[in-house]
């Protein structure tokens, strides 16, 4: 059976995570804790896109984040920077999840979390994503905040 785009993106992300040492060397051990669950977050956002029990605004956000993560030619561009180019995807995914948790019950999000990692741990990381904000290039961070319609200070 042929892989679909969802499987292809998940596989690409999983293969990149194997290069964890290079990511950790560039961004530090703290940032690497956020890395492992990026494929699961991609799947969560993809699934939320089609959940009609979630409001349309949150479904649109989920779709936009899923597309951003799937695209290797984004603001940091893992297509050209390798695993180091995932820092923007990671920040965006966890920050978007934190925004969603303000408007969607955690249980509604958790039912789309299909990974062994406890969802509570992912929620904790989402609430602490500010810890890696300094690792995201400032221009890229400004663009990501605009993408999420957040104040850019």
Number of structural domains found in the chain: 1
pLDDT of residue 4: 86
Inter-residue long-range contacts of 143-146, CB under 8 Å, 24+ positions, other chains counted: 143/75, 144/75, 144/88, 144/91, 144/92, 144/95
In 3D space, the residue among 128, 143, 135 whose CA is nearest the CA of residue 98 turns out to be 128
Domain-located, residue 9: yes
Q: Name the residue range of residue 108's domain.
A: 5-147
Domain contains 119: yes
pLDDT of residue 1: 52
- Residue 130: inside a domain, yes or no? yes
Residue 153 belongs to a domain: no
Q: Given this model, what pLDDT does residue 3 score?
A: 73
Q: What is the mean pLDDT of each run of 10 residues along the chain (153 residues)?
A: 82 92 92 94 97 97 97 91 95 98 96 96 97 96 96 84
Residue 92 covered by a domain: yes
What is residue 95's predicted lDDT score, i.e. its pLDDT? Answer: 98
- Whether 152 maps to a domain, the answer reads no
pTM of the model: 0.95
- Distance of alpha carbon 20 from alpha carbon 18, whole angstroms: 5
Give the per-residue pLDDT at 75. 94
How many residues comprise the chain?
A: 153
């Amino acid at each position: 059976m042929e892989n679909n785009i969802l499987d292809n993106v998940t596989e690409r992300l999983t293969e990149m995570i194997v290069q964890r040492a290079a990511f950790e060397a560039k961004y530090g051990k703290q940032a690497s804790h956020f890395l492992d669950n990026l494929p699961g977050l991609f799947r969560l956002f993809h699934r939320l896109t089609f959940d009609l029990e979630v409001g349309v605004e949150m479904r649109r956000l989920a779709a936009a984040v899923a597309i951003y993560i799937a695209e290797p030619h984004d603001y940091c561009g893992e297509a050209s920077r390798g695993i180091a180019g995932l820092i923007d995807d990671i920040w965006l995914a966890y920050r978007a999840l934190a925004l969603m948790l303000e408007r969607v019950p955690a249980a509604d999000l958790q039912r789309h979390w299909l990974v062994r990692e406890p969802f509570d741990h992912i929620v904790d990381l989402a609430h602490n994503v500010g810890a890696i904000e300094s690792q995201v290039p400032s221009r890229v961070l400004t663009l990501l905040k605009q993408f999420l319609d957040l104040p850019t200070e």
